[in-house]
Amino acid sequence: MRSHQGTRVLVVYGTTEGHTRDVAARVADTLRGEGAFVKLAAAAEAGELLARGGWDALILGASVHQGQHQTSVVDFAKAHAEALAELPTAFFSVCLSAAVHHPDKQREAQGYITAFVEDTGLKPLVTASFAGALRHARYDYFKRLVLELLDYQLGGGTVTSEDVVYTDWDRVEAFAKGFLAQALAAPRAPLSA
């Protein structure tokens, strides 16, 4: 197996309240711990980095809000479809449905990934759905009411003054390490001249 030392990975994310950036940062830190060179970038600014080239792999992440991933991530994947087709890629989705251990909610979380892949044409080697966080203090009254009900269903207890993080950080790290191993073993598409 190839060494991870010097492997160049671009980690691109979209976030609404900041938690998906936290997940992407943990992915990046995990890859760095494996010896990879990693650049972390918001989707809106990542096009230029991707265009510079020299990347061995790319991980794309977005969170689900009102049934959709961030437009910036969808737009990034569509605008750079040709470049992404030449790289081993992974996609992770962050949503609260993934926190509920019920088959319907797990199917719902996977459905968001399927819709993203179908919409963008991305062909990731690996996908994952991670439970997100509730940022109670950042919500308006009506959103707080809806999310308090969800928080109650998740066992969080409707604490409205503190954030509640449901993310399984061990799963996030395993996802990053697993993708890195698969990306290094994946056959490379011929690079365009």
Express each pLDDT in 84-129 by its tens digit: 999 999 999 998 766 667 677 678 778 889 999 999 999 999 999 9
Q: CA-to-CA distance for 154 and 52, rounded, in angstroms?
A: 43
Domain boundaries, the chain: 8-132+168-185, 134-166
Query: Per the CATH hierarchy, to which homologous superfamily does domain 8-132+168-185 belong?
Result: Flavodoxin domain (3.40.50.360)
Q: What is the pLDDT of residue 79?
A: 96
Amino acid at 177: K
Q: What is the pLDDT of residue 1?
A: 40
Residues of the chain predicted below pLDDT 50: 1-2, 158, 190-193
Q: What is the pLDDT of residue 192?
A: 37
Whole-structure pTM over 0.95, yes or no?
Answer: no
